[in-house]
Each structure stands twice: as C-alpha cells, then as structure tokens.
Chains A and B, each alone.
Chain A
C-alpha cells in the first residue's frame, strides 16, 4: 500500500458514550482502491468505528481526514462529506413509502440536483447491474432481504462516493441470500472501489479484503493481509477470536 494515495486518514480517534470508551486511540489510513475489512467480537466497536467515519457518531477526540481535509471539525458540512462516503446498513433502511427507483433517485435529485432523466438512466443501469431492473417500480416491502440490500447498495453507489462503508450488510439476511449481496460487493472490489466492510463472514472477508483490521475492546489489536491474519495471527487475542469461529 505504500506510496498509494491516502483517501481516509483516521488519527487517534476516541469515542465515548459516557460509560467507558468504545474506541480508544484508533488510527488507520485507508488508501484509494483498498478494501479494508473490520472484524472482531460483538461490541468491540467496529460498527461504531464505521459510523464515526461518516459522522453518524460524534467523536470525543481525534481527527478524520478525507482527501486530506479534516472532516471532524464542528464546521464540517456533513451533507457534502456524506456524498463522498456512501453507507449501507445491516437493516437495509430503504424508504418504505417510495418505490425502488425513487429510493435510489432521492439523493441524486435532492442532494446533487441532477436532472431527472439523466439520473433515472444511471439508476436503471445500476439496477441492471445488480439484476433488479424489473423491480424498479416495486416497493421495498415487496422485495426479499437480498434484493433490498442490493437496492440499498445501488442507492449508495449512485452518489458516486469515493468510499463505501458496509455495516454488517448480510447479518440480517437469510443464508441463501447472503451470496447475492456478497457477489455484488466482490464485483465492486474488483472494479477498484474503496470499501470498508464490517462483517462476520470470515470466508468472504478473506476473499475480498486487502487488509484485515482486528478490533477488540475498542482498540486496533492487529492489522494484516488476510492470508497472514487467518493463518498466522500474531496476537493472542486474534488467535482466540479465530479459534471461537472454527470447529476444529
């Protein structure tokens, strides 16, 4: 990764909900085109960490820079920053009162003030790519979980973000639908999208990640290439975590 452009820089991030620190002095650089996978036990702060990156959580101290610009300033215009940092949620959070196409178009039309025809064309192309063009006039309620999550990915993609955050996006899905969502993400990774993924799917993490970040107790415990992390974890905590996931 050396020499590559740093897209997101996180320095000494500290997050506290008032009853103990959730994130303690976390520092991390995310490079352009990199796929970073955050793993760790439940409650280790990985989702919180992700949510700090687009300002859904306030931080107590530290600094985050996007393209070299500080975005953790009180003066930060989050509505602008968030167009560059897309996010997909565990529970999809599609807007139930809008059709699929209108869910996708809300950002381009209201935030980016794009022309409707042009935006619609883009939305249809993206829907086609995830195999859901025939669902464009459906309501979220009429879709399966996997379909909803693919629409949610399209809704984030259409803003042309520089970086995409995925917060346990397959955790609420039935097992047979996990694959269709992961496939979309794998394809995005292949195309060179910059992504930060929180997941419990270890095989997927291994397949998609350029780097694995292992968080425990609000700290970055280990950071390594996936092969190395999964075969020869350096820390005791990472070993223990990986052991709990295997049946050997």
Chain B
C-alpha cells in the first residue's frame, strides 16, 4: 500500500492536464464508432434472428454460417483481414470503415443470438392467437412477438453493448486514434506509463459506467414494473 500511495503522489498532474484533451477526442471517436457499430449490429441481429425465426430459406443458412464465423474469430483478426487483407484483392477501406464494419460484423452475431433466445422464449400460441384476431404477419411480429422477445433479450443486449464498446480497444491496429491508441502513444513517447494508463482506465469508466447504470435501470423496469408483476 505504501508503494501505491507513493506512486499516486508522484503522478504528474501537469502531464495529465496537458494531454487530457487527447483523451477527450479519443473518447469521442471511440463512442462514435462504437455506437455506429452497435447500431449496425442491432440491424444485423434483427435480420438474422428473424431469418431464423421465420425459417427463411437461404437467408437462414447464411445467418447460421455468419454467426459461427463471427463469434469464433477475434475482432483483432477480423480487423486485420479488413485492413490488410482486403486491399490485396483491391478493396480499400478507410480506417473508420474497417472499424465500423469489423465491430458490426462481430456485434451482429451477438445481437442475433440475444434476440433469437428472446424470440424462442415467446409462447408458440401467441403467434396463433394474434393471427386469429386478424393481424397480418408483420403486425403479429410488431405488436405481439417482438415486444415480448425484446423484454427477454434486454439483459443480454445490454451486456453486448458494453462488450462491444470495450472491444473498440483494438481499433488502434487499424491506425485509429482511439483511447487505447492515445495511451500507447503517450507511453511510447514520454514513458509516463502510470498517468497514461490511469487516464485510459478512467476514460473507459466514464464511457461505460453510465451505459451500465442505464442498462441496469431498464432491466429492473422490465422485470418489476412490466407485465403486472
């Protein structure tokens, strides 16, 4: 403990103040790319889970292969493939393009699985009773099946959001000045390891804690207030 206190005293606050704006910029970038990726992940997740739910031929098989491919390869490898591999066959993507595509490719499968479990948890009779009052298939999904599936899927979906934002820490490999990149850069340049890492941890916490708290609130609302429990 003594050592720890000693080091805190020796923290170079001047250095931290000076490079604070870099972290703010990086956090903004991380947040922006993270959120964009998450949005696309949700879209991919909805499409894949519905393809499975409705047994859509071809699309369903594609979804299965995609989910396995995406969940069983690390984001780092996916990014390498996009950034260094694709140019070899003539496809050039910007760093941000790679980051968003990579994150969406990874997140889509996680979102799909979270939604699939929710959809499967909805009683089969719900579909029939909704059809029986004359709703068309789209309305059945929109008003009856999906809201129930979503309620079940909220905890895993929220966990995925947090997971995906954390995964953005590998974006630096495609030359993006995200939080991780800034910290590594500062360490490399000035050897101020403690300060750089401390600010990195704080930055992620500042980004993720509010999301985590919000997710907890949504879950509690769904669990306790929803459906008359």
- Is A155 located at the chain interface by the 8 A CB criterion? yes
Q: Report A233 CB to chain B, min CB distance, Å.
A: 33
Query: Are A95's CB and B132's CB within 8 A?
Result: no
B105-133 near A? 1/0 per residue, CB < 8 Å = 00000000000000000010110111111
- Closest A residue to B139 by CB, please name it: A110
Interface residues of A in 107-143 (CB under 8 A from B): 107, 110-112, 138-142
Interface size class of chain A, counting residues whose CB lies under 8 Å from the partner chain: 20 to 34
- Is A97 located at the chain interface by the 8 A CB criterion? yes
Taking CB atoms, residues of chain A closer than 8 Å to B228 are 99, 138-142
Q: Choose one: A83, A91, A139, A152; the contact of B134 (CB below 8 Å).
A: A83
Query: Are A110's CB and B143's CB within 8 A?
Result: yes
Q: Choose one: A79, A99, A152, A156; the contact of B135 (CB below 8 Å).
A: A79
- Is B144 located at the chain interface by the 8 A CB criterion? yes
Q: How many chain B residues touch A (Cβ–Cβ < 8 Å)?
A: 22
Taking CB atoms, residues of chain A closer than 8 Å to B123 are 91, 93
Query: Are A56's CB and B134's CB within 8 A?
Result: no
Given A97-B227, A139-B227, the answer on whether A82 and B148 have CB atoms closer than 8 Å is no
Query: Are A106's CB and B143's CB within 8 A?
Result: yes
Q: Report A76 CB to chain B, min CB distance, Å.
A: 13
B123-158 near A? 1/0 per residue, CB < 8 Å = 101101111111110010001100110010000000
- Closest A residue to B147 by CB, please name it: A97
Interface residues of B in 54-79 (CB under 8 A from A): none
B141-179 near A? 1/0 per residue, CB < 8 Å = 001100110010000000000000000000000000000
A91 to B139 CA separation, bound complex (whole angstroms): 22
* Chain A contacts to B: CB under 8 angstroms: 54, 56, 78-80, 82-83, 86-87, 89, 91, 93-97, 99, 106-107, 110-112, 138-142, 152, 155-156, 159
